[in-house]
Amino acid sequence: MSPKMISILKSYARGVLVAITPLLVIGSTDPKAYLAAVGAGVISPAIRSMDKKDPAFGKVADIVDLEVDKLAKASNKKTK
C-alpha cells in the first residue's frame, strides 16, 4: 500500500474515532447513533479529498509531492 493511501486511511480513521468517542464515553449502545457517528466521521475527510486544491489529498497533492521530493533530493546533494 502506498504511503499516500496509508495517510488517507489514517485520516478517515481519525475522523471516525473522534466522532464515536463521545458515544463510547457516555456508554451509548444505540447502533443508529454509532452509524451516524461513523458517517459524520467520514464526511470531513471525504470533503477534503474532493477539494482540488488541497495539498495533502486533492488534485494538486501529486504535484506537491513531486516538488517536495525534488527539494529533498536537492537538499541532500548540497549537504554531501
CA atoms within 13 A on the CB side of 33: 10
The owner of cell 470533503 is 47
Which pTM was predicted? 0.66
Domain boundaries, the chain: 3-79
Question: What average pLDDT does this structure show over 40-68?
Answer: 76
pLDDT at res. 78 = 61
Q: Band of the pLDDT at 51, cuts 50, 70, 90?
A: confident
Give yes or no for residue 68 having a pLDDT over 80.
no
Q: Band of the pLDDT at 39, cuts 50, 70, 90?
A: very high
Are the beta carbons of 58 and 49 closer than 8 angstroms? Answer: yes
